[in-house]
Amino acid sequence: MFTGIIQAVGHIDSANKHGDDLILMVAANTLDLSDVAPGDSIAVNGACLTVVEHNSQSFQVHVSAETLRCTAGLDADRKVNLEKALRMSDKLDGHLVSGHVDGTGKVTGLEPLGDCVRMWIQAPHALMRYVAVKGSVTISGVSLTVNAITQDTFCFNLIPHTLKNTTLGDLNIGDEVNMEVDLIARYIDRAQAWEKE
């Protein structure tokens, strides 16, 4: 479980094929790995991945074909948002994030608003039912509050801190992002569907 509050921006140093899967080596940059052990989870651009091995500066993860199918940006030399798994004693500053990416969205708009940026994301139609104004959504691992919705798009504001301390400030129109909808919305929807069956 995660919060969507990014702890560091790392970098994918290598991505090597392993059958249909990938083995990634991720440079952790400022993320403290001193308390990380093999088997621990780290969210990489919003995807919960299991640490296979690590040293003080980097960690290795095995990314399954299923994870690759529903995510973007885990197979290339690029910067990535990093967050270690939540401890029960940690502050919950963002929202409850599972790290199970629901699909990818596409950046369709970037509007400067003073020092901030309003970003519009086009999402898969099936996921829009879980997106609500003033609700939470996770974009490439970052917990964000939805400001407005159209049929298949939604927007949020990025404050200077988020622009500086995550990869979202590097995005351009047309870029793909990993998207996780709110856990509570997903379970309410499933419970309602179950009652109708």
- Domain layout of the chain by residue ranges: 8-84, 103-196
pLDDT of residue 70: 94
* Regions of the chain where pLDDT drops below 50: none
**Burial class, 96, CB count within 10 angstroms (exposed 0-12 / middle 13-18 / buried 19+):** middle
pLDDT of residue 39: 96
pLDDT of residue 185: 81
Q: Do 8-84 and 103-196 have matching folds?
A: yes
Class of domain 103-196: mainly beta
pLDDT exceeding 90 applies to what percent of the chain? Answer: 82
In CATH, the number for domain 8-84 is 2.40.30.20
* pLDDT digit string, tens, across residues 56-113: 999 999 999 999 999 999 988 899 999 999 876 677 777 888 899 999 999 999 999 9
pLDDT of residue 89: 67
